Structure 1
Amino acid sequence: MIDRLLRLYPREYRTAYGPEIAGTYREMTAGMARWGRLREGSDLAAHALRVRFGLRSADPLGRLAASAAPFAVAAAGVSGGIRVTGWYAGVTLSPTPWRLEFQILHTAEILGLLSLLLTCLGAIVALTGRWAAGVSATVCGLAGTAVLALSETHPNEYQYRIIVPVAAVLTIAVLLACPPDLRPGPGMSAVAGAMAGAAWLPAIVVERGVVGWMSTDYGGWPLLVLAATGVALALRARSSGLRESGAMAMASPPLLADACLLNWYDPKPFAVLLLALPVAALLTAVAEKVRRRPR
């Protein structure tokens, strides 16, 4: 098995370190049960793919994925949370009794709600200290949502079957690309959690009709909060904002997908929302240049 695993490494890396990797693997798995050998093999395969695609902690892309990961899981949680609470708001405002509402749910709807709840729960767990367990739950929830979207009936049926799975796959890719030794610490997890709360709570307040003169028809608020978070991080780090804006762009697919579906028949609002992250990066760069100008 080790020979097949070594083929996953780039040729130059395999030539330089292959014998050493093979020897270490054989020494570690000697006398180990089948499950243990499979676990070690999967870890080695993951490392090989990280080397091949430049996703180690020493690689720029790996560090960018690590910066984006907590906000990607937060964005997935926000998207799922808005949809779950929107469904709950519809149930509570409906004159139909609760029991009857649950009885008429189709199997696909139940599985969809469970996938969304798993995504939200995973995001909470990941950002409150148990990153690996939370990301695993989030990935499972996103995968379930993507699979169900391929067959689920929706007002924008054809668009929904493309946009939702693509957003889910992109988010899963960001979460899995985060190097294990660069998992977010408590500070960045707290920032991502605050971003999620700021993006989710006002949208739900408006959804419930508490503020009657506001609308969430364009789905722009969560994206604006994400962009503002990138600006705040860049200003705090006194950077140009390029890395922070890139991380927020990698984290944005769930929120972009929601905005796209809401604005499918009128693309102008969505086109404006697409400019949020580039404009935020530009404003950050200008602010940093002004700050560094000699006085």
Structure 2
Amino acid sequence: MITSLAPRRLQPLPRTVAPLHRESWDSYLRRLARANRIPSRLLHEHLDDPARIQPAPLPLLEAICDLSGQPRDRLLRALPDLRPPRPDDSEPVASLRLARSGWKLHPACSHCLMRKGVTDVLPRHWHWAPVSTRLCLRHGQWTDDRAKQFALRPVPEVLQAQRRHHRLRRQHGWGPVVLAIRAATTMMNGWFEYDAVVETRHRRMSALCRSDRRAYDNDPMVIASAYPETVALAGLLTAPGLRDLPFTGHPADMRLFIDEVRARVLPGYQYDYDNRRDPLVHWIAQGHRRRTLPVPTAACP
């Protein structure tokens, strides 16, 4: 016996767009609104107005399915933050499940979008990507910035650093690598402030930045120029046999760690414990402080 399908509770919009691979549902709604020449804010208000959706609140997936006219299965495959939890999932919110699994919302590469027929690349479209993503390897495009994307072909070592970053994530897990990249970025910024910058980084900055352009804090081109050294230093900070060397108390271990810093990041680097401007001195001091904190113990019943 064939039963009729339930009627749509929302009228489909005149124009539909296909969802992109791993696109966020909010980004998809913005593209759907632009295709129909209506403000995306009004489309969100339409979905959030209970008076328009009767007799009960409509799940977001079903609402987007009705509005877009796209098959439900296609939306589920393309938009991961609409997927319902599995029976063994402890987190019912899809975006939190993705974030806790090592994914993040990341601007989509403008060249990838144009290849898929999406020509309105501004404002940025967002998709879910591994937390280690900084650029598009297919098109050699730096994408880790909300405002601008730029080509990295003149600096191929930045592309290689992205591959090493992904490799670190697979080897050590995304959590430790995120912490290591954060610490390495802080150290690279500190060295940059008092001009302890290697010659190769100056060459990359010259290749990426115009001669008349003034850099600023957190400039994406400055960050990209330091990315190879940042990933190399993060590899040192996640290596099980090396990351604990500054905290053993043995001078030979400390010398070995500094030799690794010279080989990976700063040739000719001289470690001076009294130099409080040195970010590595600060990082080691913080590590010693954390390791001497008392460990809380459970109260006896």
Q: Smaller-chain TM-score range?
A: under 0.3
More strand by share: 2
More helix by share: 1
Q: Which structure has the larger Rg over C-alpha atoms?
A: 2
Report the TM-score, using the length of structure 2 for normalisation: 0.25
